[in-house]
Amino acid sequence: MARQRLGQHFLADAGWREQIARAIRVSPHGMESPARAATDDYCWIEIGAGHGEMTDHLLRSGVPVYAVELDRALIERLQQLAEKHPNLTVVPGDVLETDLAAIAAGRRIRLYGNLPYYITSPILHHFFRFADLIDEIHIVIQWEVALRLTASPGNKSYGYLSVATQFYTRPELVLKLPRGAFRPPPEVGSALVTLRLPGENVTLGLENEHAFLEFVKTCFGQKRKTLANNLRGLAEPARMRELLEQFKLRADARAEQLSVGELADVYRAISSAK
């Protein structure tokens, strides 16, 4: 039985499970060859493994699979599955408190998760803490959030979460999933999004990534206000207009019109003037 307080919606439809498995390359019909899987030093970490709906597919890769699950009843079922599969380890606990580096123990990480919609953003930020260890993140999330992660500047869905995601990863909207693929069905549509790492953080080379993301939050503080107005606490409006002109941006530009790189340019200019 799904627990509403945990945001549980289990991927019950076998057809959609197979489509996801093909998309993330763990299906016998489209996965990497066993020879490559055996030599690659990586592991799968599954977030919110549930009844093991996708765990079976991940196990076919032949690499270590770590199933993170919070629900005690589901943990017992996963442990029964682990008795049959030596490459499966069940990790009881909250993903937000899970040390992904300790689990991987020196291996590269591939993540899969059917994420609770109400904490998608905190989970993503937790993943980004381990960005230098992760190669791929495959997540089933709310459709509207998927649009936010993949939105381009100027799109109405583009905002802070878009910038943070694209700073660390290269997102792709892979599949749109119907409500009926889940039990119980969620109230909204869902999507599989793939995030490949690294993102723009590598080329931008910012010394303090956390400070940059805090700056981006300020930029998007009030979306209807111009960038100059949102950043009044950091630079005088006249100075902001000069900076925007320097980077060939409109004086009345809003944060949602700037790319990750352009926001980084403005951040560097303001930071260097302090």
Please tell me the distance from the alpha carbon of residue 195 to that of residue 119, in angstroms, as a whole number.
17
Counted residue by residue, the chain has a size of 274
Superfamily the domain 4-199 falls into: Vaccinia Virus protein VP39 (3.40.50.150)
What is the maximum span of the chain, computed from C-alpha positions, in angstroms?
Answer: 67
Q: What is 204-272's CATH topology?
A: Helicase, Ruva Protein; domain 3 (1.10.8)
The CATH 1.10.8.100 portion of the chain extends over 204-272
Neighbours of 80 (CB within 10 A): 11
pLDDT at res. 273: 67
Please tell me the distance from the alpha carbon of residue 140 to that of residue 146, in angstroms, as a whole number.
9
pTM given for the model: 0.92
The CATH 3.40.50.150 portion of the chain extends over 4-199
pLDDT above 90 (res 20): yes
Greatest mean pLDDT range, 4-18, 39-53, 169-183, 234-248: 169-183
pLDDT at res. 9: 84
